[in-house]
Structure 1
Amino acid sequence: MSTFSQVGAAPETRLQPVGPEPGRGLPKGTFLVAAGAFLLTLALLLPLYVHDRVAPLPAAASFDLRMTDQEAAYLDTATWTWVETAELEQVTRVEASAHGSDWSAWEMTVSTSASDQVIDHWSRRVIVDRETGRAVNCCGEHVNGDRAVRQAGLVLYWPPGVSEGGHSFYDAEVRSAPSVEFDENDEVAGVPVRRYTQTVDRTQVPESARDVPAALFDPGAEGTVRANRWLTAERTFWVEPVTGMVVDMAESRSETLRPQNGSGEVALLDAELTLADGQVSGYAEQARTRSLLLRGLDRWAPWTLGPLGTLAVLAGLVTAWRARPPQEEETPAATEAEAVEAPEKAPVSEPEARGP
């Protein structure tokens, strides 16, 4: 007899399909749980990931800052005469480009002119940390060609979420970074701002020596003398604190000439500079829009999406619990029917005792 006939045919094995049965949808509450999990994920990603990538200063930018004074006074170095009630304009032009993932390279030029006559012009290259707004000593920085400078402090913008104190602002003309002091909370064009001031005490401007007529300091003197430019300035900045954007600024500056080997002093420039018309409202609107975006990512999104996500998950779980199939209980009638259908087993009789 073959082994197959002795053992019998192998039992047939049926594969059970994986997943929901055909024709049946997802369990109730699944969509609510998935939507809630998505909202909770957004509540974490928006403030912790997206905000930190949107808040830093833009890597690439191109803009001009125009400051004017309609009643400035200056020394015309072409004729060496004092000119009053002149229209003065100072233009700071910035061309910024990405420098790595965290820095931006700013090429800056500053031109001061009056009546189409250039009074002063200088250039600067500075590497800006996009997160802190501060200068980084790197990569060919210079002030007017002087590559030995080590720039430090804020360049133009404050860091996003700026604190009230503990800041310095680099003055490229005097090659130092005097501190900027918080004055008070203020408002510009409907935008809440913080007002800061910086004072530059009378300081000799490096590399400013030039030959000037000796008669400027001693009437009747002949020839020329070597003189340096000295600067005194007080600057005011109005900063939107969420974005760190400067929405308005003003500068009161006084420049003089002093001979290197001698006494005396001659006024060179007196000006009260303010941002040109139209720029303040434009910067204020930019700051307002960007502030709403950053506050939405950092505050409103987690406090709105978090609770909504939690409620959606709980609602989905409750819906799934209520929609579960009822559990069938075993009844006595069913137990008796199973007992009747089951075949009765014949009792096993004990072997009869045999006599001797």
Structure 2
Amino acid sequence: MTAETQVGPLARPRRPLPRGTLAVAVGAFLLTLAALLPLYVHDRVALIPATTEFSAAMVDEEAGYLDTSRWAWVEGVELRRVTRVDATAHGSDWSAWEMVVDTSLPDRMIDHSSRRVIVDRETGRAVNCCGEHVNGDRAVRQAGLVYHWPAGAPEGDHPFYDAEVRSAPLVEFDDWEEVAGLRTGRYIQTVSATQVPDSARPVPAALFSAGAEGTVTATRWLEATRTFWVEPVTGVVVNATEQREETLRPRDGQGEVPLLSAELALEAPRVAANAERARVRSVLLRSLDSWAPSVLGPLGGLAVLVGLVRAWRGRDTASPAGDGAPEPDGTGGTGGDGAVPEDAGEAAPRDAGAVPEDPRKDVPAEP
């Protein structure tokens, strides 16, 4: 039994790829990547994170407030206003934010509010859906920006929702300014004196009229000027301040008394953290949008061109058929028509398994 019958037919050698194939394939991949990065990958990376958890504290160390335990004005106290956000994914393009805002003094809390809002991760704006509320009021319809600006937002004005007055006054672009080493757009929102919904409460009538007795119903009014510094590529709010004035006004009468006066600003560690996050994301988004495609595109085109040139040269240097190269039917070029030379049999080795003939077989018998 021969080796061929034992292990099967011998495998034919693998046919090599035409010259230039690998270069063309690499070039096509690079060109495809150069198109996908700015058209798809950039837009997905630029979305506001679906799941996140953070807090931002604004502080005024010299605030003034009305101490309602003895109805006296107090100045020079530290006031902290902390916003906490716990966001979870809500579908592929939305995020559900649970937001809590606490305003406190060193010894006690003076205000608390909560809200649920569905955020469009692309635009940064509120979506009226899925159990949104402000302090339990589910009839509220929130609109406008919630916290972040959208990535690559233009310089123009944007509505920004204020949950206290339940409206979305515009934040207006003011100018460009450098903050923590970043070029940021400065936006200003002005909230004119507005009554805070559901804020009615009984207060001493003497607050508004000296010598008056009893109580009157008063409501809280808010007037604020907020400033935001926004990194334009990422939409990250790097810094923010708020000048805040709150007053009490009698529902049926004239006059007002100050309730709170503060100039709040984000704490320095939070500003530094926001700036670093904006810096890293800005480099990433710029790379995906312009830097990487501007490099990968020319490289891909060059690789395709090199591959095509190599393929063309390979055709020119290929040996023509009939010059001694084996024909497709396996016959060599020496025999012309494939005939075996006459002496080919003499040169062939004897079969190892053949039995030699008896040399006496052909000798004639003796008479």
TM range (shorter): 0.7 to 0.9
Is residue 75 from structure 1 mapped to residue 66 from structure 2 by the alignment? yes
Q: What is aligned with 2:174?
A: 183
- Alpha-carbon distance in structure 1 between the residues aligned to 2:318 and 2:281: 55
Q: Compute the RMSD of aligned alpha carbons.
A: 1.9
Partner residue in 2 for 1:227 = 218
- Matched with 1:293 is 284
Mapped to 1, the partners of 2:85 and 2:321 lie a distance apart of: 81
Using the alignment, how far apart are the partners of 1:152 and 1:213 within structure 2? 37
* Equivalent residues, number: 315
| 1:91 equivalent in alignment to 2:82 | yes
Kindly state the Cα deviation for residue 33 of structure 1 after the two structures are TM-superposed. Answer: 1.0
Query: Is it true that 1:151 corresponds to 2:142 in the alignment?
Result: yes
Map 1:4-43 → 2, pairs under 5 A: 22=13, 25-43=16-34
Displacement of 1:277 in angstroms is: 2.0
Which whole-Å CA distance do the structure 2 matches of 1:46 and 1:180 have between them?
32
The correspondence for 1:108, drawn from 88, 99, 102, is 99
Is structure 2 residue 192 aligned with structure 1 residue 201?
yes
The counterpart of 1:237, out of the listed 216, 222, 228, is 228
Q: Which residue of the partner structure matches residue 139 of structure 1?
A: 130
CA distance in 1, matches of 2:61, 2:83: 18
Counterpart amino acid of residue 235 in structure 1: R
Matched residue type, 1:172: A
The alpha-carbon deviation at position 290 of structure 1 amounts to: 0.6
**Where does structure 1 differ by over 2 angstroms across 4 or more consecutive aligned residues?**
23-28, 323-331
Write the letter of the residue equivalent to 2:212.
A
Distance across 2 between alignment mates of 1:299 and 1:109? 38
For the residues of structure 2 that align with 1:311 and 1:199, how far apart are their CA atoms?
55
What CA distance in whole angstroms lies between the structure 2 residues aligned with 1:107 and 1:164?
29
1:316 aligned to 2:290?
A: no
How far apart in 2 are the matches of 1:197 and 1:35? 50
Q: Matched residues in 1 for 2:166 and 2:14: separation?
A: 78
Q: Secondary structure at 1:183's aligned position in 2?
A: strand
Q: State the AA in 2 paired with 1:307.
A: P
Match of 1:251 in 2: 242
Measure how far apart 1:109 and its partner are: 0.7
Task: Give me the TM-score of the superposition, normalised by structure 1.
Answer: 0.85
> Closer, same or farther in 2 for the Cα pair 1:296/1:102, shift >3 Å?
same
Structure 1 residue 170 corresponds to structure 2 residue 161: yes
CA distance in 1, matches of 2:186, 2:46: 21
User: 1: distance between equivalents of 2:85 and 2:232?
Assistant: 22
- Deviation sequence 1:280-303 (CA, Å, 0-9, x none): 010000001011111111111211
> Which residues of structure 1 form unaligned runs of 5+?
1-20, 332-340, 343-356
Amino acid at match of 1:86: V
Q: Provide the residue aligned with 1:120 in structure 2.
A: 111
| Corresponding residue for residue 36 of structure 2 | 45
Aligned residues with identical type, % of pairs: 68
